[in-house]
Chains A and B, each alone.
Chain A
Amino acid sequence: MTPDVHPLTLLIASVFTNNILLSLFLGMCSFISISKDLKASNGLGMAVTLVLTITTLINWMVYHWVIVPFELDYLRYIVFIIVIAAIVQVLEMVIERVSPTLYRGLGIFLPLITVNCAIMGVSLFMQLRNYDLLQSAFFGAGSGLGWWLAIVLLAAIRQRIEKNPIPAGLKGAGITLITIGIIGMAFLGFAGMLKVQ
């Protein structure tokens, strides 16, 4: 049963009200480690958005055209992750050839996207919530944009508080997690705007 949500609504919702990172806390490891650097965060956000959009689409096709007809629902986790790994691999090769500048900007973060749980999470939600192809595309792109927005916000804040006198016990990951929590609460303010689930 496909939910009756306009794809555009879904896009906006996954950026603001249902931000994959700030409401579900998925994709935390690269979120925390990369957000030290605003420039790298921006590059990674872009790459995640790209990968999310493509993998959600392809996983939708694989799920509905292969897994469902053969009744292999229990294998979806494995299939999704194989697809994600393959897409990231292909993307890496293509970006390296087409845009060396972007490739260099993303550096090691590009292959690491494979193990970003936000990517896997979006594929699974797409399947759980029975989105159709178009909705999945917008859901994937929106989640990517949301992740991108969140990491850039966090990186910008971290840059500002870097020089502040932070209690020794909270330095590094501690204050970062607190910051993420506060951003998350701020995003709660969007919650009433849209209802998608």
Chain B
Amino acid sequence: MWTAPIIISAISAVLAFAIAIIDGIVNNYADVTISINEGQKTLSVKGGSPLLSSLATKGVFVPSACGGKGSCGACKVKVLSDIGPHLPTELPFMSPEEIKDNIRLSCQVKLKSDIRIRLPEELFSVRQLNCTVESLKDVTYDIKELRIRLPKNATIDFKAGQYLQLVIPPYQEIKESAQRAYSISSKPSDKNSLEFLIRLVPNGIATTYVHRELKEKQPISVIGPFGDFCLRDTDADMFCVAGGSGMAPIRSILLDMYEKKINHRTVWYFFGARSRRDLFYLNEFRELERLWPCFHFVPALSEPLPDDRWEGETGLITQVLDTYMKKNPDPSKSKEGYLCGSPGMINACVKVMIANGIPENEIYFDKFA
């Protein structure tokens, strides 16, 4: 009677023990090195685990929706070393080009020996930061300046012009969490706080949340940084055009340049608005113009009201841009365009810039979709 359970248990125990021992011998991998982007970053990890989780233990987060189960296909990584052909578990997520390029699912690649991989550089600094709202100010009737404070002891490294994803929690009728991208308007040297310019868009999930729900001292999460709308390291003169909340990345770039004492490039910033009530940060930019001789600030109103008593430039921003570019032609210097705003405004400005001799591939822009 009693022998049956004991014998079955004993056989299972012996087999389990054997498996455990063999597992210990067979899967005892030595430390392996992961070399990212040809030695830009080198990590030493214990072998035998998937690439995805090994990277995560070292603080490199490859995006993955399923958490390494091999069901989402998001954690694609280019592998430079020869680690053999693709596994059947990887193939459903791969296009023929990706297979040719040896793009792999990092959750399925088991680390057995040293490996060289390539990752987009921005992944090194992508993190989720649980911040708190430091201040929330109206800069115009429909644009708020949101300033958030990073968690204690946390800092952020980003390039001027990049953006973050704001994580909007569910509120009122909005039942699901959402993420929306906003350019950082503060300068990169400010590593403990971040500023954004957020214009109220009717029925916009994130903008409504920021304008109506968010209060000071409330928590808010951001993910990032992302984006490549950044200053190009050339000697060309810069023509920047942005209006409204499109000012954010331009402001970050300009403050960064001033701080880094880049004085050999002539910088123009055309700030287009409809009327006086749409203008903001005027004093700040005028002060910057005074302190930084190579910087020229040109605010322009397209529909100034009589009450505005506006003495600056008037007209559409494209006309003002055209006038200034024609007035100051300097064929000896190359020029670059930096644009941020609505697609309509950007397309119109690109035309003006091309007409005034800026090559199309040297006009950089951040289109608000």
Chain A: residues with CB nearer than 8 A to chain B?
62, 66-67, 70-72, 75, 78-79, 82-83, 86, 89-90, 93-94, 96-97, 100-101, 104, 107-108
Bound-complex Cα distance A96 to B4 (A): 35
B119 at the interface (CB under 8 A from A): no
The answer to whether residues A108 and B88 also contact, given A90-B22, A93-B26, A94-B22 and a CB cut-off of 8 A, is yes
Q: How many residues of B contact A (CB 8 A)?
A: 20
A-B pairs with CB below 8 Å: how many?
A: 50
In the complex, what distance in Å separates the CA atom of A28 from the CA atom of B143? 69
Contact B8 A75 (CB under 8 A): yes
Chain A residue with Cβ nearest B11: A79
Give the residues from 9 to 25 in chain B that come closer than 8 angstroms, CB to CB, to chain A: 11-12, 15-16, 18-19, 22-23
Asked if B27 lies at the interface with its beta carbon under 8 angstroms from chain A, I say yes
**Other A-B pairs, 10, CB within 8 Å; known A75-B7, A100-B84:** A67-B7, A71-B3, A79-B8, A82-B8, A89-B19, A90-B19, A93-B26, A97-B26, A104-B84, A107-B87
Cβ-defined contact, A93 with B27, below 8 A: yes
Residues of chain A lying within 8 A (CB to CB) of residue B3: 70-72
Chain B residues near A93 (CB, 8 Å)?
19, 22-23, 26-27
Measured between C-beta atoms, what is the minimum distance from B83 to chain A in Å?
9
Q: 3 tightest A-B contacts by CB?
A: A86-B15, A97-B26, A107-B88
B residues 245-286 touching A (CB-CB < 8 Å): none
Question: Which B residue sits closest to A89, measured CB to CB?
Answer: B19
Given A82-B11, A104-B87, A97 and B27 contact (CB-CB distance below 8 Å): yes
* Chain B residues engaging chain A, CB cutoff 8 angstroms: 3-4, 7-8, 11-12, 15-16, 18-19, 22-23, 26-27, 84-85, 87-89, 112
Q: In the complex the two chains form, is A66's CB within 8 Å of B26's CB?
A: no
A83 and B15 within 8 A (CB): yes
How distant is the Cα of A196 from the Cα of B369 in the complex, in angstroms?
78
In the assembled complex, the Cα of A97 lies from the Cα of B23 at a distance in Å of: 10
A100/B19 in contact, CB under 8 A: no
| Alpha-carbon gap, A42 to B24, bound state (A) | 30
Q: With a CB–CB cut-off of 8 A, which chain A residues contact B85?
A: 104
* Contacting pair A70 B7 (CB below 8 A): yes
